[in-house]
């Protein structure tokens, strides 16, 4: 029987050859051979091991060609660390989910695997409203010591990680690729920031390129690490709803941020609310469900903004949660809308004032949206 360090190395070598196929075999190999090192050195793969023909061929060929200790040296040079589900630092929550990942590769603070966490997921192409609300709620959670879990994808995932980091809080990114294959490439800087302040994890062996089918699989880990899942924006058929389904299967809370009924991205959250998910206005709605005292600073956030003048109120009636173009607002002004007449010298001055006060946000293409 091999020692503990070597056995982790041999387990990782098997994982490199078999990938996620090792998950259901992990316990069986350990119980029958006593260690992964002994299994590796046992010679031909026994017929009783439930492996498909292709996986069996990969394993038999790989055992002849791969040197586990040199593989471990390569990982070490790249700064890649890994942990098996047998170790005490492994996530207690993940041990209870379906298809437990037998190995996780990681960068960052491993202790976050057992932190009080909430997952935040949503569209890769969110509205400005979704990005703003996601960032604000994630920051509020982070400020209260809650770790924010997401998937490093574009859109809502990125906004969730960034929101958590603004409060110098903790966040976990669960990748749908190998830990050394950042996807999407546009989030490379964010990946480094998460590695420095939080934790990035993957159940896919190093050098594994992202594939479309990886993301629905990894979603069970996003929900598995958390006390509950917040869906910010999602279409009627969305990967975010798969994460919500995993949460329900894992007896976790599901939260949903409502949005304008005219937006296709509101359909997913609104349907979840119809089905019993908790409607979320701010982080306090989540905190009270996971047993953390609410933050009074989150109450009445809208009332804490600078007040609106009468003219600003008129203009705000023309700006909703769907972006409106400046031409629409100029036509309103030309038609007699006295948005800022006598209060700052015109429409553009008041738009700048409303953005400074935090009521609206400008978006590319000369659009404005309520936040």
pLDDT at position 6 is 83
pLDDT at position 163 is 95
What is the Cα–Cα distance from 240 to 78, expressed in whole angstroms? 32
Mean pLDDT is lowest, of 40-44, 151-155, 255-259, 278-282, for: 40-44
Write down the CATH number for the domain with range 310-370. 1.10.10.10
Q: Output the average pLDDT for the chain.
A: 89
Alpha helices in 26-107 (DSSP H): 26-33, 36-40, 53-65, 68-77
> What dihedral angle (degrees, nearest 10) is formed by the CA atoms of 114, 117, 123, 127?
-150
Q: In the chain, which residues fall in CATH 3.40.50.450?
A: 110-298
What 328-337 contacts at long range (C-beta under 8 Å, 24+ apart), as own/partner pairs, is 329/368
3 state SS of 120: strand
- Tokens, residue 282: 């701010």
- Does the pLDDT of residue 100 top 50, yes or no? yes
- Does the pLDDT of residue 232 top 50, yes or no? yes
Percentages of the chain per state (helix, strand, coil), in multiples of 5? 45, 15, 40
Higher confidence at residue 5 or residue 214?
214
pLDDT at position 343 is 42
CATH architecture of 110-298: 3-Layer(aba) Sandwich (3.40)
- Does the pLDDT of residue 50 top 60, yes or no? yes
Q: Give the Cα-Cα-Cα angle 294, 298, 304 (nearest 5 degrees).
A: 150
pLDDT interval class at 304 (50, 70, 90): low
Rounded to an integer, the average pLDDT of 269-285 is 93
Rounded to an integer, the average pLDDT of 14-18 is 96
pLDDT tens for each residue of 72-86: 999 999 999 999 999
pTM: 0.83
Rounded to an integer, the average pLDDT of 321-348 is 71
Residue 256 pairs in a beta bridge with 231, 279
- Does the pLDDT of residue 340 top 90, yes or no? no
Rounded to an integer, the average pLDDT of 189-212 is 96
- Does the pLDDT of residue 169 top 90, yes or no? no
What is the Cα–Cα distance from 156 to 173, expressed in whole angstroms? 12
Q: In the chain, which residues fall in CATH 1.10.10.10?
A: 310-370
């Amino acid at each position: 029987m091999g020692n503990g360090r070597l056995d982790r190395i041999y387990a990782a070598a098997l994982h490199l050859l078999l990938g996620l196929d090792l998950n259901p075999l992990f316990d069986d190999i350990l119980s029958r051979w006593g260690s992964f090192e002994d299994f590796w050195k046992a010679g031909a793969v026994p017929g009783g091991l439930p492996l498909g023909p292709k996986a069996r061929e990969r394993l038999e060929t790989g055992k002849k060609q791969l040197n586990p200790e040199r593989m471990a040296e390569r990982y070490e040079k790249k700064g890649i660390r890994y942990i098996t589900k047998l170790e005490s630092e492994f996530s207690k929550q993940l041990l209870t989910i379906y298809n437990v990942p037998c190995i996780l590769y990681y960068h960052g603070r491993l202790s976050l695997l057992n932190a009080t966490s909430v997952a935040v997921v949503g569209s890769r192409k969110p509205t400005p409203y979704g990005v703003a609300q996601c960032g604000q709620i994630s920051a509020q959670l982070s400020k209260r010591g809650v770790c924010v879990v997401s998937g490093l994808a574009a859109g809502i995932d990125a906004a969730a990680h960034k929101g958590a980091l603004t409060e110098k809080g903790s966040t976990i990114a669960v990748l749908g690729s190998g830990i050394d294959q950042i996807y999407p490439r546009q989030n490379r800087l964010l990946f480094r920031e998460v590695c420095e302040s939080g934790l990035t994890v993957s159940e896919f062996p190093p050098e594994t390129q992202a594939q479309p089918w990886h993301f629905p699989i990894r979603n069970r880990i996003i929900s598995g690490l958390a006390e509950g899942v917040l869906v910010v924006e999602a279409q009627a058929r969305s990967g975010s709803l798969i994460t919500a389904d995993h949460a329900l299967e894992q007896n976790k809370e599901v939260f949903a941020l409502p949005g304008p009924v005219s937006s296709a991205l509101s359909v997913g959250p609104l349907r979840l609310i119809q089905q019993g998910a908790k409607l979320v206005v701010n982080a306090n709605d989540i905190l009270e469900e996971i047993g953390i005292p609410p933050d009074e600073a989150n109450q009445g956030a809208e009332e804490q903004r600078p007040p609106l003048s009468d003219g600003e109120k008129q203009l705000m009636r023309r700006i909703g949660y769907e972006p409106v173009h400046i031409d629409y607002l100029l036509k309103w002004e030309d038609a007699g809308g006295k948005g800022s007449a006598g209060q700052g010298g015109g429409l553009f001055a008041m738009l700048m004032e409303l953005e400074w006060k935090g009521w609206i946000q400008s978006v590319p293409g000369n659009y404005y949206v309520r936040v």
